[in-house]
Amino acid sequence: MAEQTIQIHDQLVLEPAVGLVQFLQQSKTLVDRATAGVLYRDEHGQSRQLELAGHQMSYGLARDHINLGVASNGVELTWQLSAAEDKRLRLEVKNRGPGTIHIVELRVLDVDAQRGGALGLASAPGTWRFYQHGWQSWSPTFARHLADGIWVNPNTEDYRTKHQPHEVPPGMKLVSSEWFTVIGSSRESAPEHGVPGPALLLGFISAADQLAEIRLGVSSELQFQSLRAVCYADGVPLAPGEKLSSETLLLTAGNDPFALLDSYATGLGETMHARVAAEVPTGWCTWYYYFGEESAEDVLSNLAQIQEERLPLDVILIDDGYETEIGDWTDVDHAKYPDGMKAAAQRIAGAGYRPGIWIAPFGTSALSKLYAEHPDWILRDQEREPVLAWQHWGKDIYALDVSLPAVQAWLQRTFRTLSEEWGFGFFKIDFLFAAALPGMRDDSRLTRAQALRRGMEVIRATVGDKFLLGCGAPLGPSVGLVDGMRVGPDVHVDWEPFWRDLSAPSTANAILNAVARSYMHGKLWLNDPDCLLLRPRGDDSNLVLNEMRTLTTMVALTGGLVLNSDNLVSMRRGRLEYLRRVLPPYGRSAIPLDLFQHERPQLLVLPVEASWGSWWIAALLNWNDRSCVTRMTLSQLGLPPGAYHAYNYWRQRYLGVTGDEVVIDPHQPHETVLLMLKAVSEQPQVLSSTFHVLQGAVEIKDVRLREDRLVVRMEKPGRQFGNLLFMVPEGSEYGVGTVSVNGRVQWPRKVSPGLWRAGFTLVDKATVELALG
């Protein structure tokens, strides 16, 4: 009996007598000898667990689904599996006993080497790449190398509170990812350095009710020990006759690990009814120059500068600092805003912009009036002490218990004031993780995920369709409630953080997360990579030119929100050109081709398809502190064989024609080389536009070749000087004459054989005609 196996649709192999399952895809093993289980507390408070492993399972097959069951001590488990290429797993627990039990963990998939469990990866764990997805906006996210790499655990109480929502079992070496992961192998481990073989995706495609985690256990010698996909029920009570289901786990494999992440985001967005706005917001934010010390006069003077410079921005975001204390949101600091926030919003709206405001709705200062008047609204720990969520400029900020109806009513009143009375139309809601911290809630039936969503649902219902930008937010439960999401740590005036911590504010950390989560954009929400800092190096910034250009490039290529946070009044006009060059956002994100090869991806590609042509934008980033030589082959980018023009955008340098590779020597420290690659044509063509970093994707609407001229129609809001570069093959039937811009004639300048440049100021619209003799 113990040897009996049952194969179902070439997708599952059951061992009913011992409670184990093998998952297959295209006749290859994904996961071998897996089981499921539940951790709970019985009616006497004793910790217990029940697994299918080690028990005789009951099973029932219906079409492409199978239910596996086991019962013991009044607890019944049902493991629901789909027998398809993309497998979906759910675990249901039912209380059939006489007393109430409390569910702690739902282990939807449990693979243990001690009972013969294994993963169907072709290489040893020392070569594996484990996509480590952080809990909230600022939590480190990258494809982690198990053998070595950039991961450092700060191991502080603050870090554990903000980034590690689950206790780590003692005595285990674990790597962990929230809600989902992809596990792949390095290219070096593949035969003859070829394709490394299928990667494995485990991801919960629902996230409204439970926090969830994928945990991989390895030994100190990097041998596989365990893999577990867990939903956290946080001790919710289950009365006799009641049942509780886990989130739905997707298990699948594919040769392209980034494509697996992309498809996962699509599935999660569909399940959670993601909100994806049609237009990507742009704007200006007070925070990274004033750091809460701005006044209404500062806001209005920057607004005036935006108007004078004709910068095509939409949102004016007043960040932290307008309130007297965290929690006392309607108690305005009148030394900074003497006429109040309603007046500030009216001035912004009256000038034709969308007023935005920052708020951390799920926390309150120990010095606030809110805490003094309502100490019973605070989330408490087991000792009935207030739960400390974070330190804000040296002040203790306590988490609110958003399960309380009184707190929900207060949230509604607060956001009604900000939205309806004051007139703000864009809300940056920050430090949202506070609502999901462990604690004793008034409603003990709510999990941490449900408590967070309950608070966010109140906010969404109050502000209606106005834009909500989440920040410091646990990502899974936020899908479907926010329009935009910060996807990385705070940007900073320094490239590296002051201490080794991938969650700490720094430009490098912000970029890493923005790239590693780029596939979420347009599927779960609009990504917010954080603000552009364009000011020169000096008293207000330590970023050198290459670092500023890298930040600008990555903000543009990841396709999300574009928010500047400089003092525009004192900004050099040349630096404002960098802002103009990323406006408007393209809306699509580049692909980090080496996400699973390098922990800090070095190569991104964005294929551009316009009605008048196509080309590729490639970004090559040197993370090193020293210059290096970078080689990039066209096959790495996925370009079809052929000859391509190569143009270095930031250096404004034509690199010639290549059919093989591009060599950057020297590639300077922290420099991103931004290349345009366009197929060589025998016909005259627009090679590049310097008006936008994507070189024609947003500002060139149409290009037409007529008998004696090349006609380019351009549209871009605002006023900007730039160049169009035309390639007219030498030796062809075409010559080069004058260029006219809206009828005004000038002579183009020859840059290199066949390449001509015309510079002009674009004011909203232009028709450019190159005469061909």
Distance CA 306, CA 309 (A): 5
Q: Please, which residues have CB within 8 angstroms of residue 744's CB and are 6 or more apart in sequence?
A: none
DSSP 187: G
Q: Which of 74, 102, 106 is nearest to 90 (CA)?
A: 106
Distance CA 252, CA 86 (A): 5
Distance CA 560, CA 277 (A): 11
Distance CA 381, CA 189 (A): 47
Whether 674 contacts 664, CB under 8 Å: no
- Counting every residue written for the chain, the total comes to 773
Q: Give the amino acid at 89.
A: L
For 416, the 3-state DSSP assignment is: helix
Residue 99, number of CB atoms within 10 A of its CB: 11
Give CB contacts under 8 A, 24+ apart, made by 651-658: 652/690, 654/687, 654/725, 654/751, 654/752, 654/755, 658/634
- Which residue is it, tokens 């011992």? 18
For CA atoms 411, 417, 418, 419, the dihedral sign is positive
Distance CA 708, CA 735 (A): 9
Distance CA 228, CA 51 (A): 13
- Rg for the chain, CA atoms, rounded: 28
Which string of DSSP letters, residue by residue, matches 259-298? HHHHHHHHHHHHHTT----SS--EEEESHHHHTT---HHH
Strand intervals (E) in 529-627: 562-564, 591-592, 603-610, 613-621
Distance CA 548, CA 551 (A): 5
Q: Which of 589, 687, 595, 674 is nearest to 630 (CA)?
A: 674
Whether 627 contacts 667, CB under 8 Å: yes
Whether 184 contacts 257, CB under 8 Å: yes
Geometric angle at alpha carbon 323, from 321 and 327, rounded to 5°: 120
Provide the annotated active-site residues.
Answer: 430, 490
Q: Give the amino acid at 141.
A: T
**427 bridge partner residues:** 357, 468
